[in-house]
Structures are given as C-alpha cells and as structure tokens.
Amino acid sequence: MISTHILDTHLGKPAPQVEIRLYDAKTRTLLGNGVTNDDGRLKDFGIEHIEQGAYLLEYDIAPYFAKHDLKTFFPQVSIQFFVENPNEHYHVPLLISPFAYSTYRGS
C-alpha cells in the first residue's frame, strides 16, 4: 500500500484539499489520484496491488498556498521512490512551506 501525508510547516498544520497523483515512474502511467483529507492525509490511491519498481507522487501545492494568500516558489512537488517489497506499506510524508519542502520514508 502507498499512502502520503502533507504537513504545512509554515502554518504548523496539516495541508487539506491538496490534489495528488500517483504514477508508474518508468512509463508515467497514472495509477491513481486523490485529495488530502482534513488531516492532510491520503490513505490510499485505490490500488489493490503494487509491484516492485519506481513510483512518482505529484503534489499540486500552488492552489493550497493560494487559498492562504501565500505565494510559493514550488507550485508542484514530485517525489520519486522505489518499492522494494510490495508487501510492505510505503508512506511518503511531505513537509511544505512556501519556499521549501522535504520528505522522508514514513511508517
């Protein structure tokens, strides 16, 4: 399973209503998409089975910052990661602010 979570470090809150797309990184085939909930989480992309390989998460963060009347240097964030064991849960948190972002492998 693949999930994600966005935290706005500028406002100190989760980032709700952010659109996220999941792609096969090799073919750029769209595998699923969704919008973060009020807690900034997207628990799954509606995919029943994932395979070993490279994936790409694409986050549209410009509309989120625009709702807060903030300009951002990064209108979109793309994170590529590799699934080694398809039986594991892959959680990809994203920390955002108007002029920086970071990520890590969560649990």
In this prediction, residues 11-19 reach a mean pLDDT of: 97
Does residue 78 register a pLDDT over 90? yes
In this prediction, residues 90-95 reach a mean pLDDT of: 98
pLDDT band, residue 31 (cuts 50/70/90): very high
At 50-68, the pLDDT tens digits run 999 999 999 999 999 999 9
Q: Domain limits at 86?
A: 2-103
Three-state DSSP class for 17?
A: coil
Tell me how many domains the chain contains.
Answer: 1
The C-alpha atoms of residue 28 and residue 21 are separated, in whole angstroms, by: 11
The C-alpha atoms of residue 100 and residue 107 are separated, in whole angstroms, by: 23
- Per DSSP, the residues of 38-99 read TTSEE---S-S---SEEEEEEEE-HHHHHHTT---S-SEEEEEEEES-TTS-EEEEEEEETT
CATH number of the domain within which 23 lies: 2.60.40.180
pLDDT for the residue numbered 107: 86
